[in-house]
Amino acid sequence: MAEAPPDDCRPLKYSIHKFSTFSSNYVPELKYFRNILEDKPSNQGSRWSSDSNNPPQYLILKLDRPAILRTIKFGKYEKTHVCNIKKFRVYGGLSDENMILLLESGLKNDTVPETFLVKYTVAGHQFPVRFVKIVPLQSWGSTFNFSIWHVALGGFDEWTMVQKCINWYTTYREREAIRLCLKHFRQHNYTEAFESLEKRTRVTLEDPRLTRLHKMLVDQGDFDGCEQLIGEAAEEGLFQQYIRQQEYKPQWTPIIPNPGGSSGPPPRPGMRGGHQMCIDTNTQTIYLFGGWDGMQDLSDLWSYHISSQEWTCITRDTHAEGGPSARSCHKMCLDPERRQIFTLGRYLDSALRIPDNLKSDFYMYDIENNKWTQVTEDTASLGGPKLIFDHQMVMDVEKRIIYVFGGRVLTPSRWEGCVGGLGLDELRTNNYTPSEAIFSGLYAYHVSTNTWTKLRDDCSGNSTGPQDIKSRIGHSMLFHSGSRQLFILAGQRIKEYLTDFFMYNIDTDTVTYISDGTRKDSSSVPAAGFTQKATIDPHLNQIHVLSGLSKDKDKRDENVRNSFWVYDISQNKWSCIYRNEQTGESYWSKMQHVEPCPRFAHQLVYDDVNKVHYLFGGNPGKASLPKMRLDDFWSLRLCRPSTQQLYQTCVLLIRKHRFSELARENSVMALKYLQTRLHSAVDHSDPQQVQEFQALATTLFQPQDDTSVGYVQAFPDDDSSSTPTTTDLGWRHTARSMLFDQLTQFFPEHMTQPRGNLVDLIPY
């Protein structure tokens, strides 16, 4: 997914400008050495080495000529080396004192040179650098010095083009400096200075609409006019950028079934783990089948109708109706157009793994006609997968093809009794994947022709070509109907937790790795080893991952983490929506109506039309109650503010401020305003807003406290002393300016004055 360097990048010559420290002979460039300018992987001495890894360490290179820097390449030694840099930053600038961050990354500890693309634009334009500063932060051998073997810089230094960039950049920075001054002068009421500067430089501080807002609000006090302007802005969609930047807030809601009539509580699915759910968004129905209740496999089929919040038991025993026998660790997928459900795979206790039982039976359920059909007695006999469990199955509804990937193949037991297979959705026996475990590959099933095709075998062994796929269990696989890609994430093999993430294009049969899992920054992607359930939203282009309890009993007490992540496919960016690291029974029993406790072997489905997730049951992994399973049912919504909510927020801010001005002038009018216009702006269903509203009333009857005003006017206009004062006019100007800042935060950045403040930039 990385951007390729431009083809016509040229090597840029440089010399060593400065360095923090160096060890003995490992100086970057003495008269007698050309260490890092040259790439000599076999020469142990050909490097810059700091004298320790105590911060700050740095190396500053000076380009022979100013240039647009595009790439930086680090050479390596011919063997791995403890001094290689695991984490570093690169800065660049026209002077060695003012630099901006161009790159933050790290090197692999191997022998392969690595090239990186660096930041080279600001505000949409290319900017030139003369100095490049490399700051090592961590070495691979954590107590060792840093070494840089070789650096090559690439970019463009053709002078006419670079000169244009320098000119643009100078003008850009000057303009930004002037804008900061204008903002400052306006805030502090240095009116004449503001006007002189604006006229002389002709720099625009902000979008004219916001200048109009400022005049209306700060100069004229036309509050109604402000509300109207903001309403128009909201309607134009100007708040969208702000909304998109807000974090999602997770909202879990337990779904309590409607209380029954006199016939007692209505039927609902019993506690289980290793079951399957799928959702038909067209009919807003969730289907649930099978599982393990702690004692035995189940074969009941249920449907849940979302709007009526009712469960219906379709079949108590599918087997009796020509459907699959009781099972768990099976997989299910749904075709919403033809209204068919398919199920494949199941787990077998080792005692039952005799060849006759090891047929991979494949069923289809016709929803319309409530009819089960055994499609195939053994898919393996048709070239499909053998009997597997803990695989993944998804459907390309448009082409009517089902994809099955991974899972472990059930083979005839070699031993009786205690040594069982690894039941990943069911912790029933000693969990054990024998070293000769076979993992199933990637298959496609054409429904219409009832044909199985094997697309990929498990590539075993260490050398993986870029088109090879490692099979696995406990992974997630999702189908993106728009781009027609399968997304495959994580999972495990024998004692090995995988952290890779790749796409398989079903039309071109190509594999593309999004992350090979080697450069893992543990805080910015979901952690490996925890049961994850994933869903996809092909419209918003997002993948959601819910991580929970580790299947591995040994790992379970460590890092138990309920966390929810969103992966933005277009931006290739993971965001953590929330992370709950709480452990302990008392905590989770308090939370039982607030958030589902950590678990595995549960099911998560996603309504991509209404943007709601549903979760049912699973195994809470209680060491004291190993047979206990859950039967709770939850919905999850990820919430962001809406345009209307933001508009209401602005109105409330404006009216609260209006109230505070009235309170200083005329308590009676203020009280009336509070009871009418301010009252109508409050959302009385929000307890916090109500509480604040009530507090405001009491302030009418208290002395004013001006120390609460956020910033103090250092040089007020009244020509009195030069100490800060809070005259009424001064207070009003300041308070209205603060309100202006609050209102404009919802507008897009390209429209507003700079967010920063001049005073905050002063160093000490």
Binding mask 561-590 for a second copy (x = CB under 8 A): --------------------x---------
Q: Which of 45, 55, 322, 482 binds a second copy (CB under 8 A)?
A: 55
Q: Which of 3, 8, 142, 687 binds a second copy (CB under 8 A)?
A: 142
CB of 194 to a second copy, least distance (A): 8
Q: Which is nearer to a second copy, 382 or 709 (CB)?
A: 709
- Identity of the amino acid at 477: M
Q: Which is nearer to a second copy, 138 or 282 (CB)?
A: 138
CB of 544 to a second copy, least distance (A): 24
SS (H, E, C) 277-339: EEEECCCCEEEEEEEECCCCEEEEEEEEECCCCEEEEEECCHHHHCCCCCECCCEEEEECCCC
Give the CA distances from residue 582 to residues 282, 420, 513, 617, 668, in Å, rounded to whole numbers and listed in that order.
Answer: 37, 33, 33, 20, 51
Phi then psi for residue 634, to 5 deg, are -130, 155
CB of 750 to a second copy, least distance (A): 15
Segment 714 to 753, residues that bind a second copy, using CB under 8 A: 714-715, 717, 722-724
User: Does the protein bind a second copy through residue 160 (CB under 8 A)?
Assistant: no
- Name the 3-class secondary structure at 14: strand
**Structure tokens, 78:** 């011919």
Q: Which of 5, 6, 17, 21 binds a second copy (CB under 8 A)?
A: 21
User: Does the protein bind a second copy through residue 437 (CB under 8 A)?
Assistant: no
Q: Which is nearer to a second copy, 119 or 209 (CB)?
A: 119
User: Does the protein bind a second copy through residue 197 (CB under 8 A)?
Assistant: yes
User: Does the protein bind a second copy through residue 121 (CB under 8 A)?
Assistant: no
Whole-angstrom distance, CA of residue 397 vs CA of residue 349 = 33
> Which residues are within 8 A (CB) of 85 and not within 5 positions of it... i.e. 6 or more apart?
74, 106, 107, 136, 137, 138, 139, 140, 146, 147, 148
Residue 461: count other Cβ atoms within 10 Å of its Cβ. Answer: 8
Whole-angstrom distance, CA of residue 33 vs CA of residue 36 = 9
User: Does the protein bind a second copy through residue 52 (CB under 8 A)?
Assistant: yes
Whole-angstrom distance, CA of residue 463 vs CA of residue 228 = 65
User: Does the protein bind a second copy through residue 173 (CB under 8 A)?
Assistant: yes
Location of structure tokens 């997002």: 542
Q: Which of 3, 8, 192, 356 binds a second copy (CB under 8 A)?
A: 192
Task: Kindly report the length of the chain.
Answer: 764
User: Does the protein bind a second copy through residue 108 (CB under 8 A)?
Assistant: no
Q: Which of 105, 201, 648, 742 binds a second copy (CB under 8 A)?
A: 201
Report the candidate in 458, 457, 489 with the shortest Cα–Cα distance to residue 475.
489
CB of 751 to a second copy, least distance (A): 19
Q: Considering only 180-188, 537-545, 618-626, 695-703, which stretch makes contact with a second copy by CB under 8 A?
A: 180-188
Q: Which is nearer to a second copy, 40 or 87 (CB)?
A: 87
Phi then psi for residue 71, to 5 deg, are -135, 150
Q: Which of 174, 247, 496, 516 binds a second copy (CB under 8 A)?
A: 174
* Count of residues engaged in binding a second copy, rule: CB under 8 A: 64
CB of 455 to a second copy, least distance (A): 39
Strands 59-75 and 100-105: unpaired
User: Does the protein bind a second copy through residue 352 (CB under 8 A)?
Assistant: no
Q: Which of 38, 39, 51, 114 binds a second copy (CB under 8 A)?
A: 51
CB of 208 to a second copy, least distance (A): 19
Are the beta carbons of 63 and 102 closer than 8 angstroms?
A: no
Location of structure tokens 């289907």: 287
Q: Which is nearer to a second copy, 178 or 605 (CB)?
A: 178
Q: Which is nearer to a second copy, 42 or 722 (CB)?
A: 722
Report the candidate in 649, 642, 543, 632 with the shortest Cα–Cα distance to residue 588.
632
User: Does the protein bind a second copy through residue 525 (CB under 8 A)?
Assistant: no
Alpha helical stretches, state H, 73-190: 159-187
Q: Considering only 199-207, 389-397, 409-417, 565-573, which stretch makes contact with a second copy by CB under 8 A?
A: 199-207
Are the beta carbons of 77 and 107 closer than 8 angstroms?
A: no
**Partners of 138 in beta bridges:** 87
Whole-angstrom distance, CA of residue 748 vs CA of residue 240 = 8
User: Does the protein bind a second copy through residue 122 (CB under 8 A)?
Assistant: yes
Are the beta carbons of 432 and 453 closer than 8 angstroms?
A: no
CB of 715 to a second copy, least distance (A): 5
User: Does the protein bind a second copy through residue 762 (CB under 8 A)?
Assistant: yes
- Identity of the amino acid at 536: I
Are the beta carbons of 333 and 341 closer than 8 angstroms?
A: yes
Binding mask 682-721 for a second copy (x = CB under 8 A): -------------------------x---xx-xx-x----
Q: Which of 39, 114, 176, 468 binds a second copy (CB under 8 A)?
A: 176
CB of 167 to a second copy, least distance (A): 5
Q: Which of 4, 112, 202, 702 binds a second copy (CB under 8 A)?
A: 202
User: Does the protein bind a second copy through residue 761 (CB under 8 A)?
Assistant: yes
Q: Considering only 35-43, 136-144, 236-244, 458-466, which stretch makes contact with a second copy by CB under 8 A?
A: 136-144
Number of helices (H), then strands (E), belonging to the chain: the values are 12, 38
Q: Which of 98, 245, 453, 675 binds a second copy (CB under 8 A)?
A: 98
| Region of residue 14 (left: phi > 0; alpha: psi -120 to 50; beta: else) | beta
**Partners of 445 in beta bridges:** 402, 452
**Structure tokens, 288:** 């649930």
Q: Which of 2, 4, 8, 143 binds a second copy (CB under 8 A)?
A: 143
Are the beta carbons of 475 and 442 closer than 8 angstroms?
A: no
Are the beta carbons of 636 and 615 closer than 8 angstroms?
A: yes
**Structure tokens, 451:** 């044909």
Segment 67 to 96, residues that bind a second copy, using CB under 8 A: 87
**By the criterion CB under 8 A, which residues form the site for a second copy?**
21, 24, 51-52, 54-55, 87, 97-98, 100-101, 122, 137-138, 142-143, 163, 166-167, 170-171, 173-178, 180-181, 184-185, 188, 190, 192-193, 195-197, 199-203, 522-523, 559, 581, 707, 711-712, 714-715, 717, 722-724, 756, 758-764
